[in-house]
Amino acid sequence: MFSGSAINANVLPREFRRIAGKLFPKAGSSGPQLKVVDAFANVLGIGEDFKQTKNIQSSENGMREFLERFQNNLDLLIQKTWVEKADEARKNALLDKVPPFISLLENKDYREAIKEYGIILKELAYLFFGNQSQKDDFTEYTFRIDIQMGLFWWYGCMLGSSQGMAWAKSANDGILLAVLLLGICYLTNF
């Protein structure tokens, strides 16, 4: 996961390539606009929830409550995931990564939060899909299961890719937060 075909444009279904390609532009370009993030949220099937999430980000209490819901849901997803006994330590390590990620968001360190969220998603994919998540065709595999889920894991792969990291270095805080909230909103409603 997070390599090879994960960022290959041909992995994306044709109808999503234009909007998805604008979400993580190549380094040196101007980066996505908020309307691109909104359009991607719609394609993911979380457009209305994402709109509500963006509206609460100006409220410290609203954002704190949203992040608590996210953490609770993610904790539930991780805890309810059946894994082999050998992977229990990996599952517990992932649970330990969530609070520091939330702290990065609360401290508005969005570049570091993007990096950590990519790591969290990589580990979560492993818990959900096992060794399949480590293969080059992982995103293609998730698209075959469900288009929207495939788009989400493509998004996760992009966050963890060198292209995603290069993009994050040059993006402004508003866009970084919007892209983070996109994934957080998806998992909060998963």
Per residue in 62-114, pLDDT (tens digit) is: 889 999 999 999 999 998 888 788 788 899 999 999 999 999 999 999 999 99
Stronger pLDDT, 33 or 41, i.e. the higher one: 41
Q: What is the mean pLDDT of residues 128-157?
A: 91
Residue 33 binned pLDDT confidence (cut-offs 50, 70, 90): confident
Range name among 25-34, 118-127, 157-166 with the lowest pLDDT average: 25-34
pLDDT at 2: 47
Read off the pLDDT of each residue in 8-29 and give the average, rounded to a whole number.
73
From residue 109, how far is each of 4, 59, 113 by CA, in Å? 28, 18, 6
pLDDT of residue 54: 85
Quick one: what percent of the chain has pLDDT higher than 90?
Answer: 53
CA–CA gap between residue 13 and residue 10 (Å, rounded): 7
Q: In angstroms, rounded to a whole number, what is the distance separating the alpha carbons of residues 11 and 16? A: 10
State the residue range of the domain holding 143: 4-188
pLDDT mean over 126-149: 91
Which pair of tokens denotes residue 178?
Answer: 């919007």
Number of domains in the chain: 1
Cα separation, 69 vs 162, whole angstroms: 30
